[in-house]
Amino acid sequence: MLLNIYSLIKTIFSFVIVICPLVIFHELGHYWVARWQGVSIESFSIGFGPALFQWKDKNGTIWKISPYLLGGYVKFLGDADPSGLTTTDSAIESSITNKKPWEKILIAFAGPFANYVLAFGLILCMVIMKGIPDANQPIIGTVSSSSVAKNFLFPKDTVLEIQDRPVQSFQDILSILQSTTLDKELDIKVYRDEKIVDVRLKSSKIPTHSKEVWKGNLGITPQCSWKKISEDQYFSSALNVFLEEIQKPLEIFKKSNISQLSGPLGIAQQARDILEYRDLGMFLLLMTSLSVALGFFNLLPIPLLDGGNILLSIIEWITGKHISHRVTQWLLWSSMLFLGGIFVYSSVKDLERYTFVKNILHYFYR
């Protein structure tokens, strides 16, 4: 049990290392554009909750580091709370309430845009230092320490068959896992140490419904090889990889359902596995994927997110009227309940992968 608790702590630490730079860059996007538009910034916080450390700069902005590192915020003059959804009337010109709708849209869009800019920069660094990634070979790169496949599948295993279906690429692996429900045993044939090995896996996870699949529950990632390119192809190659990455969240959003949703702990587990793999290129690729995902997620038209603020500013622009305090309060609480529910659900799903949590759940629900 202590080993599992240590594993959980290590996973959370990996999450902090990976996610904090992305959050900082996102919030700096809001900060820079707000300053450009003449908005006064009251506070800039990395994390939520009471400040662990803070200082005030010459412009009067309070910079904070807070304990709950699941995000951050920039609080403008005129904001009633850090969400930016509710505001207070102010006669001061630098208040966010006195800015035109198009200016508010620019400020809200700046955070996700900064994540996309960061993603392209990370890809360019990756292309220069490592080359172009090829992660579609049917070769296992990492096996999650909390996966049922641990001690059965190993890095550098070449997958030959799953469920008696031939495998020629990692995409084939994902397709078979997508079509195989979690209540079925998984028969895998791999090539290891110059011999063919048969592996049979049974999920220890309690399926949330009868159609839950193995995809996202096996805990393996592909081995990534790198193709070096010439200097004159750096930018065009980076752009191609970037365009592929920005399409991925949309494809996942269209195809996946809530049972496949991974929460912060699931992301943290992936971060830990890649950090343990010690491949700089894979680390940059992970940072890229998360930065794009963060930008995409924040553009969803949900109040509390940047996309929600953009939508409300567009409505204000069209109608020529400020949205009433009663409406913004209702939107604030309903979005908190909605996003909070998704967060709790996805976190419980992630926690179920840990033995000591599964034992607790079995004790209460046996």
pTM of the model: 0.77
Q: How confident is the model at residue 147 (pLDDT cuts 50, 70, 90)?
A: confident
In our burial notation (b when 16+ CB lie closer than 10 A, e otherwise), range 310-320 reads: bbbbeebeeee
- List all residues 6 or more positions away from 298 whose beta carbon is below 8 Å from its beta carbon: 26, 111, 112, 115, 305, 306, 307
- 52/11: higher pLDDT: 52
Do residues 8 and 26 touch, judged by C-beta distance below 8 A? no
pLDDT at 361: 46
Model confidence pLDDT, tens digit, residues 64-95:
998 887 788 899 988 876 666 666 766 688 88
The mean pLDDT value for 164-192 works out to 91
Secondary structure letter of residue 319 according to DSSP: H
27 has catalytic annotation = yes
pLDDT of residue 7: 66
Work out the pLDDT band at 251, boundaries 50, 70, 90. Answer: confident
Structure tokens at 61: 């902005």
| Residue 5: Cβ-neighbour burial (10 angstroms; 0-12, 13-18, 19+) | exposed
Of residues 327 and 269, the one with the higher pLDDT is 327
pLDDT in tens, 304-357: 889 988 998 999 899 888 777 778 778 878 877 888 777 777 767 666 655 444
Query: pLDDT tens-digit profile of 82-131?
Result: 666 666 766 688 888 888 999 999 999 999 999 999 999 999 999 999 88
Question: Which of 114, 107, 116 has the alpha carbon at shortest distance from 312?
Answer: 107
Which pLDDT value is given to residue 363?
A: 44
Q: Is the model more confident about 253 or about 46?
A: 46
pLDDT level of residue 299 (50, 70, 90 thresholds): very high
Give me the mean pLDDT over the 199-208 stretch. Answer: 76
Per-residue buried b or exposed e for 66-79, using 16+ beta carbons within 10 Å of the residue's own CB: beebebbbbbbbbb
213-231: per-residue pLDDT in tens? 888 778 888 888 888 888 8
Q: Which two tokens stand for residue 181?
A: 């429900």
How far is 216 from 266, CA to CA, in rounded Å? 10
Under a CB-based contact definition with an 8 Å cutoff, are residues 74 and 31 in contact? yes
Give the domains, in start order, of the chain with CATH numbers.
2-39+96-128+294-365 (no CATH), 137-223 (2.30.42.10)
**Tokens at 165, concatenated:** 């279906």
Confidence of residue 189 (pLDDT cuts 50, 70, 90): very high
Q: Is the pLDDT of residue 365 over 70?
A: no
Tokens linked to 345: 């659900």
**pLDDT score, position 352:** 61
Phi, psi of 74 (to 5 degrees): -120, 120
Q: What is the mean pLDDT of the chain?
A: 82
Query: 62-65 and 41-48: which strand pairing?
Result: parallel
3 state SS of 216: coil
Angle at 261 between CA 126 and CA 347, to 5 degrees: 100
Do residues 174 and 180 make contact, with C-beta atoms less than 8 angstroms apart?
A: no
pLDDT of residue 356: 45
The angle that helices 234-255 and 101-129 make with each other, rounded to 10 degrees, is 120
Cα–Cα dist 65/20, whole Å: 11
Q: How far apart are CA 178 and CA 187, in angstroms?
A: 14
Distance CA 247, CA 252 (A): 9
Number of Cβ within a 10 Å radius of residue 351: 18
Q: What pLDDT shows up at residue 254?
A: 66
Angle at 166 between CA 163 and CA 171, to 5 degrees: 95
- In tens, the pLDDT along 23-37 reads 999 999 999 999 999
Catalytic residue among 27, 103, 212, 245: 27
Q: What is the pLDDT of residue 360?
A: 45
Percent of the chain with pLDDT over 70: 84
